[in-house]
């Protein structure tokens, strides 16, 4: 019996000309990810794909262990960052390409999460939805400093200014989070195409529906984002912990 189930889906949304997001779920290697390409015409879709391909490669090479899991997460970000920079430098018109990324891995009763950018990871546990990550964005920095209110942040004209991303510069700082998992935990990895369109309380409502499996929950969240305007690509990955 599987101790967890993973499912993910990505959608172009209603306004973008192409989908620059990439998702990957791998139950055998016990990891999943969401990468949101940035740079527009500068090949953001290629950057997010490079990140996913790098993760697949790294998780196939490095041995599965508690130390190895953390090492695999960090190396994925480091190597993907270098590969995206190299691609941008060697390919005309690709300067400025990069991606935000969430990479969640499991080992025994623990999770390891790598985070960079304004994609997010949430955890629903015993009726409480918690945002585990902090956006690496100008608006979040102003919120933290008390310069703007939450209401002002929603309407901020520089809402999409990212302060940290994979592939933009050498050796960017990476947030690594670790914790214990429990049966019943539900992790949500998503791009800002979901969170810009769907409020946290509505996300929680969909995740809590006991009558829905994770495939249905995923599709319902994407439908909700499109119903709200679908202004960006939408990616949702769910990890349901069923046992240890």
Q: Across residues 58-69, what is the average pLDDT?
A: 73
CATH topology for the 4-128+165-241 domain: Phosphatase 2c; domain 1 (3.60.40)
Confidence check: pLDDT of 114 > 90: yes
Each residue's pLDDT tens digit, 24-45? 999 999 999 999 999 766 789 9
Question: CA-to-CA distance for 235 and 77, rounded, in angstroms?
Answer: 19
Contacts of 104 (CB under 8 A, 6+ apart): 31, 32, 33, 111, 112, 113, 114, 121, 187, 189, 237, 239
Which pLDDT value is given to residue 159?
66
- pLDDT bracket for residue 92 (50, 70, 90): confident
Q: pTM for the whole thing?
A: 0.93
Contact 43, 97 (CB under 8 A): yes
Give me the pLDDT at residue 67, please: 59
Return the pLDDT at 100: 97
Give residue limits of the domains in the chain. Answer: 4-128+165-241
């Amino acid at each position: 019996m599987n101790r967890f189930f993973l499912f993910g889906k990505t959608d172009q949304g209603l306004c973008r000309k192409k989908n620059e997001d990439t998702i990957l779920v791998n139950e055998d290697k016990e990891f999943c990810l969401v990468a949101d390409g940035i740079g527009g015409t500068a090949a953001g879709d290629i950057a997010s794909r490079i990140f996913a391909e790098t993760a697949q490669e790294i998780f196939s090479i490095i041995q599965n262990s508690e130390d190895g899991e953390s090492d695999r997460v960090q190396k994925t970000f480091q190597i993907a960052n270098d590969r995206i920079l190299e691609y941008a430098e060697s390919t005309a018109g690709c300067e400025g390409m990069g991606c935000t990324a969430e990479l969640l891995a499991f080992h025994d009763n623990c999770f390891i999460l790598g985070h960079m950018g304004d994609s997010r990871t949430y955890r629903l546990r015993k009726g409480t939805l918690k945002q585990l990550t902090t956006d690496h964005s100008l608006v979040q920095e102003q919120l933290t400093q008390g310069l703007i209110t939450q209401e002002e942040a929603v309407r901020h004209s520089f809402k999409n200014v990212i302060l940290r991303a994979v592939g933009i510069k050498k050796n960017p700082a990476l947030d690594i989070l670790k914790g214990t998992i429990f049966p019943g935990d539900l992790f949500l990895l998503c791009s800002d195409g979901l969170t810009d369109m769907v409020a946290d309380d509505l996300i929680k409502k969909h995740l809590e529906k006991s009558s829905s499996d994770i495939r249905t929950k995923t599709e319902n969240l994407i439908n909700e984002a499109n119903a709200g305007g679908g202004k960006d690509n939408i990616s949702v990955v769910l990890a349901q912990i069923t046992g240890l």
